[in-house]
A and B are shown apart, each in its own frame.
Chain A
């Protein structure tokens, strides 16, 4: 059993080196387009596929590698816990560790939509101002995208830049529909539809209406983001509580008699069920918080 420790350590070191080894950084003008390329590639993939999720989450690896890593993490988790608490709890922990990367990936994909929602009020304000000042939709989208990029890298810029370039080379309405269909955020999809209406109605006469509606949408998004941030505070207790309870269990297991009882089958079943219940509880509580507003 002890021989497994160096083996696991060696595997982990290799993995860390592979993942974190410094890669040559792309610089120059073309570097900006890589994100647009990602947005274009994303639009051609099925949103439920692992390829899409990995690309949307910004993980540069193949689906097979990710699955293998999940399996390796599950086995690693089981082996490590087995050293301290052999039996069913170690297998349950292995299952949980196997499940966690997938859940984390799903969350990263969803967070792309959430990040877009957070930036969208600023984006809408700038688009409305740009159109009111007489700019064309592709130019305004391009400029707003670039202005957002100056502040920090974000997932909204490639969407705007890609749409702007598509509007220049093909049908404008088609390009906006493309944005609506590939958008990970419902609000961005609605904005695309709003701009489609603006383009179809000929622009100018519609600018005042667009300003009014943009302002209302902006207020809705700001209120939603604020409420989501407020609801998110409760997530701290959902994370801390299970950790505290696990620490109490670890502390109690210092007692030799308690430690001995941990090897009994009924106790192991109960510990395994408790762990699974806590993980399920965290997932449920988290989804309740995320979907509250």
Chain B
């Protein structure tokens, strides 16, 4: 127990030294600071500004896989207008900061390293769970609306409209897929639309979207575009129909953890507290 206090002290000391000596000189200060901000740099404020000293070590030491996953989740959360302007490094910095805060709070409140570790773990996991939940919701909504959206594009192309124009027209759809296409069109100003779509699909980290954008590229190069688009629409619809049943079957098993966390654990804690009260 005593050793842990020393270890925590040493770790905090090392962190302060690192942040002060390594990062502080890199930050422009004074009157000229505003002019030194890069042209494409976003002026940070609020939480992100306070957490910015952590960004450099986080980007250096965080595993690439975790950052990639966070980036994909943030992409979908931002499609749903949440966590706007955050990037994966800033978000991971927030998780680290909350983990340290949770650990510190646990130590102060209970004095037990086990509870402190649990506090740290909760602090680290909570933002990811909150943001991941939003991302999952929008990802699923998108997947469920994509097949119908592709039918609309196919219908437009069947009326002798070019692919780009069909995508442009269908982007007015109320669905999330339409919203995504509006975003792609906005980002594709002055660039190739299908290439931009592929870039966005990679950012989104969604196999269905990557597959569709690659096939759209093939269709654009091909001659019988209308037939090919019809085939793509049929295959996307068939894939969705097949997978919808599987997802419905999975729901039951996915509910086990929320039921334990929200129903049984609180009930057990409440039961124990009541009986402890009875014993006293």
Do A and B interact with each other, yes or no?
Answer: yes
Interface residues of A (CB under 8 A from B): 180-181, 183, 186-187, 189-190, 193-194, 197, 200-201, 206, 209-210, 212-213, 216-217, 219-220, 223-224, 226-228, 230-231, 233-234, 237-238, 241-242, 245, 248-249, 252, 255, 257-258, 260-262, 264, 266-267, 270-271, 273-274, 277-278, 280-282, 284-285, 287-289, 291-293
Chain A to chain B contacts (Cβ below 8 Å), 26 pairs: A186-B145, A190-B151, A209-B158, A213-B155, A213-B158, A213-B233, A220-B151, A220-B240, A220-B241, A223-B240, A224-B144, A227-B245, A231-B247, A237-B255, A238-B255, A245-B263, A245-B267, A248-B267, A258-B277, A270-B273, A273-B266, A282-B262, A284-B258, A287-B137, A291-B137, A293-B247
Interchain CB contact under 8 A, B244 and A293: yes
Q: Does chain A have a CB within 8 A of B3?
A: no
Asked whether A289 and B251 contact (CB < 8 A) given A274-B269, A278-B263, the answer is yes
Instruction: Give the distance to chain A from B120, nearest Cβ to Cβ, in Å.
Output: 22
| Closest residue of A by beta carbon distance from B242 | A223
The interface size of chain B toward A, counting residues with CB under 8 Å, comes to 54
Complex partner residue of A200 from B152, B159, B255, CB under 8 angstroms: B159
18 other A-B residue contacts (CB within 8 Å) besides A237-B259, A258-B278, A291-B141: A180-B174, A186-B174, A189-B175, A190-B152, A193-B173, A197-B155, A209-B158, A216-B151, A216-B237, A223-B245, A231-B251, A245-B263, A258-B277, A271-B270, A274-B269, A278-B262, A280-B262, A291-B137
Interchain CB contact under 8 A, B244 and A227: yes
Complex partner residue of B255 from A210, A266, A288, CB under 8 angstroms: A288
Residues of B within 8 A of A278 (CB): 262-263, 266-267
Q: Does chain A have a CB within 8 A of B156?
A: yes
Instruction: Give the distance to chain B from A81, nearest Cβ to Cβ, in Å.
Output: 16
Instruction: Give the distance to chain A from B209, nearest Cβ to Cβ, in Å.
Output: 17
Q: Does chain A have a CB within 8 A of B39?
A: no
- Main secondary structure on chain B at its contact with chain A? helix
Asked whether A255 and B249 contact (CB < 8 A) given A209-B158, A292-B140, the answer is no
Interchain CB contact under 8 A, B155 and A219: no
Interchain CB contact under 8 A, A187 and B148: yes
Interchain CB contact under 8 A, B248 and A209: no
Q: Does chain A have a CB within 8 A of B254?
A: yes
Residues of B within 8 A of A212 (CB): 230
Interchain CB contact under 8 A, B270 and A249: yes
Asked whether A224 and B244 contact (CB < 8 A) given A241-B259, A274-B267, the answer is yes
Interchain CB contact under 8 A, B262 and A277: yes
Instruction: Give the distance to chain B from A75, nearest Cβ to Cβ, in Å.
Output: 25
| Closest residue of B by beta carbon distance from A188 | B174
| Closest residue of B by beta carbon distance from A189 | B174
CA distance A223 to B271 in the complex (A): 43
Interchain CB contact under 8 A, A281 and B261: yes
CA distance A293 to B147 in the complex (A): 13
Interchain CB contact under 8 A, A206 and B251: no
Residues of B within 8 A of A220 (CB): 147-148, 151, 237, 240-241
Asked whether A193 and B275 contact (CB < 8 A) given A227-B244, A270-B270, the answer is no
Residues of B within 8 A of A189 (CB): 173-175
CA distance A210 to B155 in the complex (A): 7
Interchain CB contact under 8 A, A241 and B263: yes
Asked whether A292 and B278 contact (CB < 8 A) given A280-B262, A281-B258, the answer is no
Asked whether A285 and B258 contact (CB < 8 A) given A234-B251, A242-B263, the answer is yes
Instruction: Give the distance to chain B from A83, nearest Cβ to Cβ, in Å.
Output: 20
Residues of A within 8 A of B140 (CB): 291-293
Q: Does chain A have a CB within 8 A of B149?
A: yes
Interchain CB contact under 8 A, B173 and A292: no
| Closest residue of B by beta carbon distance from A266 | B273
CA distance A280 to B261 in the complex (A): 11
- The 5 lowest CB-CB distance pairs between A and B, nearest first, are A281-B262, A261-B277, A227-B248, A227-B244, A274-B266
